[in-house]
């Protein structure tokens, strides 16, 4: 803590600055800021250089000992929004902070503060509240700006189980000339920071890209969860009641799709300048913030529509009925997959191979949550019942999606098998026609040889018990493109149009099957899937739409869009499978909970963090290990705790 003598010195310096440079300007109002490359942002100008270094050193020590990151922001006043928790939450979201990254925001003139962090992190809501109340607030009470930051770091370390804090150094007395110089430097730096407005240009490109990727994943999860919640509301209240929320989700999805398109431009093979990379990542964060804000704005109205706390008994009955229906389909799904395994290769079924196990885990988890909700209703705890009902709903919804994925894959494989057999016969005819062409330069022979290699590789994939018709169709489509290019000059226009339309139809069917497989796999395992797979999937879906729109007017462009969709969907599947393969969690939790975490239903039951809201923006949900997040309509702000305080 600062000594009384140190406080006197600060007052003297402040008076000196007033005498030398004129009366102080009114305290500046500050909107949420970009953090920049340092762990400390002192827009209020309350820290010396040595004090900034002291906070930075403690923050780095915290990261090394516990893998928790802490940023500290000092501003004069919070504005737009003025509530400290909302200001801190928006700052965290603007900068793309992850699950185990926290920011302490302090209004030096407003005398308020907030320790912002996602509810899915390793420090629970209750722990964050205790850190604020027991450590940060008292430390800030005597203008202990450094002490407040150190207290936050020490509290996070203690909550994590890490080491203790660093003792405050003794404030050194300085000569009057040094004090004047310090004031001059402070004013200069402060004016530069104010002039820059905390722009993203101060953030290193690598950090900006990380924030953008984090924002994409969080926003995609918020949209998917909101969509599922809306589905349950529509089933209960009808289309008219759901219309305004559906429009909000549509706009959020449009913003998210635009953000994914920019990410795809960053990921493609075309070199980008540093200015482009910075501008596109910044725009991604802006679009994701916009999408989250739109969902957040409707969250309270959606909660009012459902009123799960008041209507828990009726809602629980509906969930139990749905659980019976979906559970009754599970044996049929298992039998269907068993039959598919007798017909097709393992690679052909990779995206649905563990669906029966995943279904069983989701349903078992739903049963646990239903029992929890029943007990809560009996005890008159409507809020706790609502949390269990929401978690059960989402788990049952994912079980249904996993069942549908098996049925859809069965249909896609059989359709691909029929199309591949027809395409193979057509290519064989084209090869015979090509063999009769004059070949003075050997070009015909080269194309015929390459095409035969593709068809020879495809044939085994269409016979026996190890069939992979989607892979065969992919090989045959490539072969067909080669031979069609060779024979294009000898076909009449009508035949060319017929062939192009047929090829487009085949490719669209194939690409749609790949997109559906990727969507099913990623959505039901989104707790493990990162931004890359989601970006490829979003672009694949956009390319499918483009191909269908162009099919009648520009078949050539439509064919190119369908080919792009097919390739992007394949990339999405591979990347998502890699992400899921690398997924893991701490021991001691049941497979049911692990399945719920994998599905994105629970964010931190194993991590000791606090839960997202259950039915309102200020509700904290209890659960295993300090709480968990169940699904709810809304964006990022509805998934954070309320807290902070005055000092």
Q: Check whether 48 has a pLDDT greater than 80.
A: yes
Say what percent of the chain tops pLDDT 70: 80
Q: Give the count of alpha carbons within 13 A of 269, CB side only.
A: 0
Domain boundary among 147, 172, 202: 202
* pLDDT (average), residues 521-547: 93
The dihedral through the CA atoms of 263, 265, 271, 276 has a sign that is negative
Highest mean predicted confidence (pLDDT) among 121-130, 160-169, 553-562? 553-562
Domain boundary among 250, 268, 298: 298
Specify the pTM.
0.66
Q: Are residues 197 and 226 in the same domain?
A: no
Q: Is residue 532 part of a domain?
A: no
Q: Are residues 29 and 169 in the same domain?
A: yes
Q: Are residues 211 and 233 in the same domain?
A: yes
Distance CA 164, CA 151 (A): 10
Q: Is residue 581 part of a domain?
A: no
Predicted pLDDT of residue 126: 75
Q: Is residue 94 part of a domain?
A: yes
For residue 13, name the pLDDT band (cuts at 50, 70, 90).
very low
Three-state DSSP at 344 gives strand
What confidence tens digit (pLDDT) does each residue in 614-644 have?
323 222 222 222 334 455 788 866 655 555 6
For residue 12, name the pLDDT band (cuts at 50, 70, 90).
very low
Predicted pLDDT of residue 637: 64
For residue 491, name the pLDDT band (cuts at 50, 70, 90).
low
Give the largest CA-CA distance in the chain.
Answer: 101
What confidence tens digit (pLDDT) does each residue in 66-123 have?
889 999 999 999 887 777 887 888 888 777 787 789 999 999 988 899 999 876 567 8
Q: Which residues contact 321 (CB under 8 A, 6 or more apart)?
A: none
For residue 369, name the pLDDT band (cuts at 50, 70, 90).
very high
The mean pLDDT of the chain is 81
Pick 431 or 465 by higher pLDDT. 431
* pLDDT (average), residues 291-310: 87
Domain boundary among 202, 232, 252: 202
Q: Check whether 211 has a pLDDT greater than 50.
A: yes
Q: Are residues 98 and 28 in the same domain?
A: yes
For residue 543, name the pLDDT band (cuts at 50, 70, 90).
very high
Q: Is residue 594 part of a domain?
A: yes
Q: Check whether 23 has a pLDDT greater than 90.
A: no
Number of separate domains in the chain:
3
Q: Are residues 152 and 10 in the same domain?
A: yes
| Cα distances (angstroms) measured from residue 554 to each of 40, 493, 496, 504, 551 | 55, 15, 13, 11, 6
Asked which of 101-115, 145-159, 500-514 is least confident by mean pLDDT, the reply is: 500-514
Highest mean predicted confidence (pLDDT) among 25-29, 187-191, 366-370, 442-446? 366-370
E-strand ranges in 25-143 read 29-30, 40-42, 69-75, 77-78, 101-107, 112-116
What confidence tens digit (pLDDT) does each residue in 133-143 have?
889 988 998 77
Pick 116 or 492 by higher pLDDT. 116
Distance CA 441, CA 72 (A): 72
For residue 280, name the pLDDT band (cuts at 50, 70, 90).
very high
* pLDDT (average), residues 559-571: 92
* pLDDT (average), residues 199-208: 74
Q: Check whether 26 has a pLDDT greater than 50.
A: no
What confidence tens digit (pLDDT) does each residue in 457-469 have?
999 999 988 899 9
**Tokens coding 163:** 């080491």
Q: Are residues 275 and 228 in the same domain?
A: yes
Quickly list H helices, 168-273: 176-196, 205-237, 239-267
Which secondary-structure segment (H or E) carries 402? helix 382-435
For residue 180, name the pLDDT band (cuts at 50, 70, 90).
low
Pick 495 or 530 by higher pLDDT. 530
Q: How is 439-499 classified by DSSP, letter by letter?
A: -SSSHHHHHHHHHHHHHHHHGGGGSTTSB-HHHHHHHHHHHHHHHHHHHGGGS-HHHHHHH
Place of tokens 């015979």: 432
Q: Are residues 232 and 93 in the same domain?
A: no
Q: Are residues 214 and 119 in the same domain?
A: no
Q: Check whether 194 has a pLDDT greater than 50.
A: no
Q: What is the dihedral of CA 254, 257, 259, 263, to 10 degrees?
A: -170
Predicted pLDDT of residue 630: 54
Q: Which of 623, 625, 618 is nearest to 642 (CA)?
A: 618
Q: Is residue 331 part of a domain?
A: yes
Which secondary-structure segment (H or E) carries 9? helix 4-21
What confidence tens digit (pLDDT) does each residue in 349-359 have?
999 999 999 99
Q: Are residues 241 and 292 in the same domain?
A: yes
Q: Is residue 477 part of a domain?
A: no
Predicted pLDDT of residue 496: 66
Distance CA 459, CA 461 (A): 5
Predicted pLDDT of residue 202: 65
Q: Is residue 438 part of a domain?
A: no
Q: Which residues contact 550 (CB under 8 A, 6 or more apart)?
A: 557, 558, 561
Predicted pLDDT of residue 612: 31
Q: Are residues 11 and 38 in the same domain?
A: yes
Predicted pLDDT of residue 8: 39
Q: Which of 214, 207, 205, 210 is nearest to 289 (CA)?
A: 214
Q: Are residues 168 and 244 in the same domain?
A: no
Predicted pLDDT of residue 490: 64
Q: Check whether 147 has a pLDDT greater than 90.
A: yes
Taking each continuous run of H as one helix and of E as one strand, the counts in the chain are 19, 7
Q: Is residue 512 part of a domain?
A: no
41: alpha, beta or left? (left if phi > 0; alpha if psi -120 to 50): beta
Distance CA 595, CA 363 (A): 10
Q: Check whether 307 has a pLDDT greater than 60.
A: yes
Pick 243 or 435 by higher pLDDT. 243
Q: Check whether 646 has a pLDDT greater than 70.
A: no
Q: Which domain holds residue 256?
A: 205-298
Q: Are residues 388 and 353 in the same domain?
A: yes
CATH label of the domain that carries residue 162: 3.10.310.50
Three-state DSSP at 116 gives strand
């Amino acid at each position: 803590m600062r000594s009384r003598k140190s406080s006197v010195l600060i007052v003297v310096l402040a008076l000196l600055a007033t005498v030398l440079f004129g009366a102080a300007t009114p305290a500046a109002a500050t909107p949420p800021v970009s953090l920049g490359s340092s762990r400390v942002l002192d827009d209020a100008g309350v820290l010396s250089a040595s004090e900034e270094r002291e906070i930075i050193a403690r923050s780095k020590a915290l990261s090394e000992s516990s893998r928790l990151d802490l940023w500290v922001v000092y501003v004069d006043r919070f504005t737009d929004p003025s509530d400290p928790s909302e200001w801190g939450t928006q700052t965290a979201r603007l900068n793309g902070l992850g699950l185990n990254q926290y920011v302490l925001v302090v209004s030096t003139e407003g005398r308020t503060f907030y320790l912002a962090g996602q509810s899915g992190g390793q420090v629970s809501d209750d722990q964050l509240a205790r850190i604020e109340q027991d450590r940060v607030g008292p430390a800030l009470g005597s203008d202990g700006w450094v002490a407040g930051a150190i207290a936050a770091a020490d509290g996070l370390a203690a909550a994590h189980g890490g080491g203790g804090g660093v003792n405050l150094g003794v404030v050194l007395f300085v000569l009057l000339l040094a004090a004047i110089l310090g004031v001059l430097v402070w004013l200069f730096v402060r004016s530069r920071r104010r002039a820059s407005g905390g722009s993203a240009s101060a953030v290193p490109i690598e950090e900006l890209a990380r924030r953008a990727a984090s924002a994409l994943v969080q926003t995609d999860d918020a949209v998917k969860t909101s969509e599922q919640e809306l589905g349950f509301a529509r089933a209960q209240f009808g289309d008219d009641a759901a219309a305004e929320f559906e429009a909000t989700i549509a706009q959020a999805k449009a913003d998210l799709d635009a953000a994914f398109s920019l990410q795809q431009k960053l990921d493609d093979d075309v070199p980008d300048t540093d200015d482009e990379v910075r501008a596109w990542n910044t725009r991604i964060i802006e679009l994701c913030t916009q999408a989250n804000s739109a969902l957040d704005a409707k969250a309270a109205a959606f909660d009012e529509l459902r009123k799960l706390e008041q209507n828990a008994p009726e809602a629980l009955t509906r969930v139990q009925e749905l659980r019976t229906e979906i559970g009754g389909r599970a044996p049929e799904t298992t039998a269907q997959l068993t039959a598919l395994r007798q017909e097709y290769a393992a690679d052909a079924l990779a995206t649905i191979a563990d669906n029966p196990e995943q279904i069983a885990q989701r349903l078992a988890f739903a049963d646990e949550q239903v029992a929890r909700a029943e007990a809560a209703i009996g005890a008159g705890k409507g809020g706790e019942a609502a949390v269990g009902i929401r978690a059960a709903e989402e788990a049952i919804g994912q079980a249904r999606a996993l069942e549908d994925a098996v049925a859809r894959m069965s249909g896609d494989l059989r359709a691909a098998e029929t199309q591949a057999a027809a395409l193979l016969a057509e290519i064989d005819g084209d090869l015979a026609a090509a063999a009769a062409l004059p070949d003075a330069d050997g070009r015909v022979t080269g194309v015929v040889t390459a095409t035969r290699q593709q068809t020879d590789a495809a044939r085994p994939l269409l016979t026996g018990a190890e069939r992979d018709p989607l892979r065969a169709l992919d090989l045959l489509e490539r072969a067909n493109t080669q031979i069609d290019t060779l024979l294009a000059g000898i076909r009449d226009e009508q035949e060319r149009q017929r062939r192009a339309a047929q090829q487009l139809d085949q490719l669209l069917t194939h690409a749609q099957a790949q997109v559906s497989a990727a969507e099913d796999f990623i959505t039901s395992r989104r707790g493990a899937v990162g931004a890359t797979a989601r970006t490829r999937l979003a672009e694949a879906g956009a390319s499918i739409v483009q191909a269908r729109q162009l099919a009648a007017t520009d078949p050539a462009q439509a064919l190119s869009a369908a080919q792009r969709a097919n390739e992007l969907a394949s990339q999405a599947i591979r990347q998502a499978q890699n992400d899921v393969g690398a997924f893991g969690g701490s021991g001691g939790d049941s497979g049911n909970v692990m399945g719920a975490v994998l599905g994105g239903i629970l964010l931190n039951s194993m991590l000791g963090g606090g839960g997202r809201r259950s039915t309102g923006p200020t509700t904290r949900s209890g659960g295993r290990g300090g709480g968990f997040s169940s699904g709810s309509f809304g964006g990022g702000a509805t998934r954070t705790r309320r807290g902070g305080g005055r000092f």
